């Protein structure tokens, strides 16, 4: 009885949070900054917790075997196998990128705890990689944990006001972060501003399916041409199926008990609200590659 009452109360909380508070731009920025600062508040705790995404897994068993064999050849010594499904999302985005990283200056907007930035900087022949994040605690964590990674640096930065010169970046990367931005159009304007002509924008995130046309119109309006687009919702769900037990185990290690329900939703644990939205196609996860019109 008590369990059902708790579930009902959390459903009310989630409804108020999603439908009333999150649509408020000021609240969005304050909330997400607080949330990610809280996740990285202790630099010495959970140093293996380096990725914050829903992961990627091939649907076909033969394709999964090929992908896994290729992935296992990459450097992964800085994180544990608990991170594999999430690291595999970055691996997929890089391997499916139709151009080359060689000699490129890359910026990740919303770099979180830096696992993706480090994986790419250690495994691909780029010139430089800058991770930007609004959370000062996340930047402190990254500068501590990833201080010896090659070509890699981190700095605090707002996605809607990037601390970068015009036409200074070859590739902007944005993974599972933009749904937190209160002024998404401003972010896309900033992406276009900092990209060199012919530069690329690698974008991976989820949206309601009815919003994709609006999203693509905005890209076009801001001078970004579609190079490729993939719906990877099924791959994300497969990764969450594969990873749910590890996510629950981590939440129990890392989180106060009263936070378990909200952390399970945030982490996409199987059977929770986010998972069901992917399952019911109320949310779709897309991977876009776009280029700045030259």
**Cα–Cα dist 287/136, whole Å:** 27
Tokens standing for residue 184? 């998404």
Provide the β-strand partners of residue 165: none
Q: What is the pLDDT of residue 92?
A: 97
**Cα–Cα dist 5/257, whole Å:** 16
**252 band by pLDDT with thresholds 50, 70 and 90:** confident
CB atoms within 10 A of CB 155: 15
Higher pLDDT, 81 or 239: 239
Backbone angles phi, psi at 10, to 5 degrees: -70, -35
**130 band by pLDDT with thresholds 50, 70 and 90:** very high
- The H or E element containing residue 186 is helix 184-194
| Digit-coded pLDDT (tens) for 52-66 | 899 999 999 999 999
Q: What is the pLDDT of residue 15?
A: 59
**Cα–Cα dist 160/184, whole Å:** 8
What pTM value is reported for the model?
0.87
**Cα–Cα dist 67/191, whole Å:** 30
Q: What is the pLDDT of residue 240?
A: 95
Q: What is the pLDDT of residue 254?
A: 75
Distances (CA, A) of 228 to 108, 233, 288: 19, 16, 6
Q: Which residue segments constitute the domains of the chain, with CATH numbers given?
A: 2-292 (3.40.50.150)
212 Cα distance to chain centroid = 18
Q: What is the pLDDT of residue 36?
A: 54
Largest CA distance in the chain: 62
CB atoms within 10 A of CB 143: 15
**Cα–Cα dist 42/153, whole Å:** 20
Nearby residues of 158 by Cβ (< 8 Å), 6 or more positions away: 134
SS3 for 242? helix
The string over 221-248, giving b where at least 16 C-beta atoms fall within 10 Å of a residue's C-beta and e elsewhere, is ebbbeeeeeeebbebbbbbbebbbebbb
| Digit-coded pLDDT (tens) for 185-196 | 999 999 999 999
CA torsion through residues 220, 170, 236, 283, sign: negative
| Digit-coded pLDDT (tens) for 11-68 | 665 655 555 554 545 555 555 555 555 566 665 555 677 898 999 999 999 999 999 9
* Dihedral angle computed from the Cα positions of residues 41, 45, 49 and 53, in that order, rounded to the nearest 10 degrees: -20
């Amino acid at each position: 009885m008590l369990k059902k009452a708790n579930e009902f109360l959390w459903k009310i909380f989630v409804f108020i949070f999603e439908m009333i508070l999150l649509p408020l731009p000021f609240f969005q920025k304050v909330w997400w900054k607080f949330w990610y600062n809280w996740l990285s508040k202790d630099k010495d705790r959970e140093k293996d917790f380096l990725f914050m995404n829903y992961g990627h897994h091939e649907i076909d068993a033969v394709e999964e075997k090929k992908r896994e064999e290729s992935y296992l050849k990459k450097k992964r010594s800085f994180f544990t196998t608990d991170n594999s499904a999430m690291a595999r999302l970055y691996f997929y985005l890089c391997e499916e990128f139709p151009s080359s990283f060689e000699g490129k200056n890359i910026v990740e907007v919303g770099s979180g705890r830096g696992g993706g930035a480090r994986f790419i900087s250690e495994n691909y022949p780029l010139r430089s990689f800058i991770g930007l994040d609004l959370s000062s605690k996340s930047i402190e964590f990254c500068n501590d944990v990833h201080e010896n990674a090659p070509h890699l640096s981190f700095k605090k930065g707002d996605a809607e006001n990037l601390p970068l010169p015009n036409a200074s970046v070859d590739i902007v990367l944005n993974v599972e972060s933009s749904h937190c931005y209160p002024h998404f159009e401003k972010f896309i304007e900033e992406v276009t501003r900092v990209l060199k002509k012919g530069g690329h924008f690698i974008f991976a995130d989820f949206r309601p399916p009815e919003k994709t046309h609006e999203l693509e119109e905005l890209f076009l309006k801001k001078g970004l041409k579609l190079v490729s687009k993939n719906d990877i919702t099924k791959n994300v769900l497969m990764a969450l199926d594969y990873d749910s037990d590890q996510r629950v185990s981590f939440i129990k290690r890392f989180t106060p008990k009263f936070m378990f329900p909200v952390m399970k939703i945030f982490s996409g644990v199987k059977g929770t609200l986010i998972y069901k939205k992917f399952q019911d196609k109320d949310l779709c996860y897309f991977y876009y590659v776009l280029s700045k019109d030259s």
